[in-house]
Structure 1
């Protein structure tokens, strides 16, 4: 698949830049391959530099901001003669913590991602257009999302929050929340579940936040869980059983809090996958060997619109049955001129 965006820098007669992605689909930890093709205009110019940047929208207490979170220089200064053609190949590494934008080929409502071409000429910078990029989940992330779908959870929304998660090593200034409505068997105890993935070369840190309903003389509160999954274990674990235990623990189906190392997944789950301890109301849990976050640093909970619907047959239907697809890229990025935080 080839994806193109063209821009004419600095008015009529200036150089033309055509960024070509060999494939706009990628995963965290992989790379986007392509070429920046530049054509000289009607006069010689000095190109001071060409830079590519990965751009997305992030929620903060000040509203949505378009931010660039990863940059790659493609070229330093060079002379471009009138009418000259140049092709500059690139391999753009996608950070491991890059949020997921697409599941089963469908854009998650609330998610946007683009690769921006930046051309500098004569001390001026033309940031040009944005090329659509689709970030698909890692196998471990996909298996966990599959498990939520099989248990009947319905997708609500996905967004990016500015800040950091307490106790989790992060390199990006934001994190993703993928939100689900619970199935009927958990609806009496849980309002919704938020899933956050923080990936690295060895595995994925999974953080769960459960919005728990209140009961008789008991106010509602949040419960938090955190656990780690290695990439190698993605295909060797019964994730439905594991996730079912995590959710049941948060819903209070087990009496009291148990040590994280004390038991594995119910039924035929993988040994060693004990349910994490849960922190309630912003405190800290008791899980043996597992850290738990009680607070989100810079956590501004602005909620996007929700998409609800019946759960279609199969896992893809389960994940996407309640999904509203993301906006078209030209609509999402049309307000590129304001509110950028770099």
Structure 2
């Protein structure tokens, strides 16, 4: 998808900048590639800087409730230091790495409701312009997809996904937010848990899986949250018995009320401080509210689409996100 914007601060006749991402989704820890295309205006200009900024729409809890905001989580310089002649066309290719913790936005081609964007920034003749946003699509790593498929085969369904501002205590988390994927339990777990919240924290050699269960209370006890963490390598994802592995995780999570995960994480002890997320996590979140659950045996976990409603909502969410961001830019200017 291409976005074009006139560098308005330079007035009529200024250069234009197009950002074109290569087609197809990218993977966490993978490479984002494309090109920045510039077309000269009525006069020559010095292109001092071309940069890319990765941004996400993130939920945050505060004293008055919950709110949403735009968080930049990675930046790269992709060009600059050259002169763009009048009406000259220059294409600047780029290839930049994505953070390993980049959230997953789709599964089996179906959107999960996570909104990410790539914003281009150009500094021309002393004027800095934050350009339009290009939606970023991220598919799961093989191990991430295998975990989600296993949950689907075990009868869990997809409820929602969102990004939460804050950190999960005791983990190797690097970004200022984390992704939560909320799953509904199958009938044989429904009397024990209301839902399971799943978070992936990837590094180059391994994938940390954080599971939190919103547990139902009994006749003489209150419900509470229980949290466990598990680490699996990226290598050998195809040979692993993921269904059996994930089933064991779930059983450990729901059957041991006082037990919290103690698996080693990234080479150090995995203690996580009472098993709660820092920075406002707790309880159930409504999420962006798109998609319905489809758990279909060997087909695994997927997001159901009701007519064209889901796709329309995704477009509306992206449009609202970008529109709000442009308003913020206007206020800064």
Q: Report whether the alignment pairs 1:130 with 2:133.
A: yes
- On the 8 A contact 1:224/1:292 being kept in 2, the answer is no
Shift of 1:231: 0.4
Q: Once superposed, what is the RMSD of the aligned Cα atoms?
A: 2.4
Q: Which residue of 2 aligns with 1:114?
A: 117
Q: CA, structure 1 residues 251+312, in 2 after alignment: closer, same or farther (shift >3 Å)?
A: closer
Distance 2:13 2:37 in 1: 16
> Once the two structures are superposed, what CA deviation does each residue of 1:221-268 show, in whole Å capped at 9, x if it has no partner?
00101010100131121111111122122222xxx58xxxxxxxxxxx
Q: Which residue of 1 aligns with 2:271?
A: 291
Question: Which residues of 2 match residues 222-301 of structure 1 at below 5 A?
Answer: 222-252=225-255, 278-279=259-260, 290-293=270-273, 294-300=275-281
Q: Secondary structure at the match of 1:28?
A: coil
Distance 2:216 2:328 in 1: 36
User: Structure 1 unaligned runs (5+)?
Assistant: 258-276, 280-284
Q: Report whether the alignment pairs 1:76 with 2:80.
A: yes
Q: CA, structure 1 residues 250+322, in 2 after alignment: closer, same or farther (shift >3 Å)?
A: farther
Distance 1:59 1:119 in 2: 28
- On the 8 A contact 1:59/1:300 being kept in 2, the answer is no
Q: CA, structure 1 residues 237+36, in 2 after alignment: closer, same or farther (shift >3 Å)?
A: same
| TM-score computed with the length of structure 2 as normaliser | 0.85
Higher helix share: 2
Shift of 1:310: 6.0
Q: Which residue of 2 aligns with 1:332?
A: 321
Q: CA, structure 1 residues 61+79, in 2 after alignment: closer, same or farther (shift >3 Å)?
A: same
Q: CA, structure 1 residues 67+310, in 2 after alignment: closer, same or farther (shift >3 Å)?
A: closer
> Once the two structures are superposed, what CA deviation does each residue of 1:14-52 show, in whole Å capped at 9, x if it has no partner?
101111122241001111111111010012222221101
Distance 1:246 1:315 in 2: 19
Question: Which residues of 2 match residues 42-57 of structure 1 at below 5 A?
Answer: 42-57=42-57
Distance 2:175 2:104 in 1: 14
Q: Which residue of 2 aligns with 1:7?
A: 5
> Once the two structures are superposed, what CA deviation does each residue of 1:46-100 show, in whole Å capped at 9, x if it has no partner?
2221101111111112521111111111113322221111111100211111010
Shift of 1:333: 1.9
- On the 8 A contact 2:149/2:300 being kept in 1, the answer is no
- On the 8 A contact 2:143/2:237 being kept in 1, the answer is yes
Q: Report whether the alignment pairs 1:173 with 2:176.
A: yes
Distance 1:181 1:149 in 2: 10
| TM-score computed with the length of structure 1 as normaliser | 0.83
Q: CA, structure 1 residues 231+295, in 2 after alignment: closer, same or farther (shift >3 Å)?
A: same
Distance 1:169 1:210 in 2: 21
- On the 8 A contact 1:104/1:316 being kept in 2, the answer is no
Q: Secondary structure at the match of 1:175?
A: strand
- On the 8 A contact 1:65/1:339 being kept in 2, the answer is no
Distance 1:144 1:242 in 2: 9
Q: CA, structure 1 residues 68+212, in 2 after alignment: closer, same or farther (shift >3 Å)?
A: same
Q: Report whether the alignment pairs 1:90 with 2:94.
A: yes
Q: Secondary structure at the match of 2:231?
A: strand
Distance 2:328 2:37 in 1: 29
Distance 2:300 2:202 in 1: 25
Q: Report whether the alignment pairs 1:149 with 2:152.
A: yes
Distance 2:292 2:56 in 1: 27
Distance 1:18 1:216 in 2: 62
Distance 1:85 1:309 in 2: 46
User: Structure 2 unaligned runs (5+)?
Assistant: none
Q: What number of residue pairs does the alignment pair up?
A: 310
Distance 2:292 2:58 in 1: 26
Shift of 1:331: 3.2
